[in-house]
Structure 1
Amino acid sequence: MNILMNVLLVDDEPLSRNELEYLLKQNSAIDQIYQAEGIGDGLQLLLKNQIELLFLDIELNEENGFSLAKELQQLAQPPLVIFATAYDNYAVDAFNINAIDYVLKPFEQKRINQAVAKATALLADKSTDQTVTTAAYPTVITVTQEEKTTVLPVKEIISAAVNNGVLTITTANGDFSTHETLNWLKQRLDPQKFIQVHRSVLVNLNCIREVQPWFNHTYQLTMTNQQKLPVGRSFVKELRQQLQM
């Protein structure tokens, strides 16, 4: 499947935007490229155009790129986000809000191509998911860490949580960690069986043992392995619908 992406670059430095645009134009997966120097201009472009991929700087004059990334989560079809910055100390925060990659300045063609390839693969998966039936979801997933690949039966997954940029998948046979995102896992699981209950937590509905009221009108889940997991306020409604509470 050929994926062509419209890309938005948000950076307050014109030279950085132009350098990144030049490198992106060398990639055959890129269609249109838009530029913005701040959050306001970026939002306008996002609302007026179909943007699949966003390269976002973090320190934008008096603004912060994380503010835009969080606003995007309210969109029905938010773009994939790649942070492109001169600072390496924001990586954990970036992956905690489901950024798919984190690219450091000065940009290099090989590194930009790797980031685009990751976005292309995610979009291809999403497109496929929209056209297949529930039966087509995989029965196993593979997790690779330190050159070791583990095959996990999906039915054994109890939960998954992101902490400090590391995705930990909890199964009946132990925990398995990877630097993939929670969204990467979510796209591979049947949404009728697995739901997100917190910005960093995904659970197997069949493995919920108890639902207890918690602070601020939220809930705490007790899983079949006695694991305690929080339910974020914005995910309460979907959980109640799924469990017919």
Structure 2
Amino acid sequence: MPTPKVCAVDSIPIDISFPMHQGNSTSFIYLLIYRGGMGKKESESQGAYKDHVEQTIRSYDLNAEEYENRYRSVEEPFLDFLLKFARTANKGRILDIGAGTGNDSKLLKSRGFDVTCLELSEEMDKRCRAKGLKTINMDMREMHLPANSFDAVLAKESLLHLRKSEIPKVFEKIKMILKPGGHLGLIMREGDADHILKEDAYFPQRFYSRFRKHRLDRLLRQHFDVIYDRVFEHRNKFLFSYILKNKKF
């Protein structure tokens, strides 16, 4: 039996490749083994990550290529929401928080916005830049950006990777960087979750928080005026979509 070639990535997944020879050519069979057993996706040991966000970002880094291949364009009903947001928001500078591979930002750029992607995953950040987008590689919890520097902010299914206790402070940061009367486009998921999603399709599993609508409404109205509010279903999940206006004080 040929000697396997072993490559470890931070000792999390172990990639073992067996050389297979046929004629004058050599190919490899790859096996992916996760700690705890071959082919078994188990949660990593406690303390493997500093916090839930680090684990989630690690997941996006490792799965960025698959993610981009799966989501090559903006899907409905998200497309309808983005187009409405583009029509409503003040044209100018827009910050896309948790921009992923940059599909939403690319669409907004085509609609006349000066888009900046804020993305903590380095692999996702690279894919945004490959699309010709400006990027900031930064944790949304640590946004140190000038006050009144953006006309609009988009946070489409990105804040849901934070703990519920962290989200109010992020709203305060968004309010600060938005110009008076600026707009926030927001999508969150319905539910009570505030934990690592064990049934996640990606590994390491990502962290999700979900809200009951009345609680999210109450939190949002502390900082913004609600000008659009719609609940929709997508892939057996209920999502809340909002277009909000920064309150003037």
Same fold flag (TM > 0.5): no
Higher relative CO (Cα under 8 Å, sequence separation at least 6) belongs to 2
Length-normalised TM-score, structure 1: 0.32
Length-normalised TM-score, structure 2: 0.32
The structure in which a higher percent of residues are helix is: 1
Which structure is larger by alpha-carbon Rg, 1 or 2?
A: 2
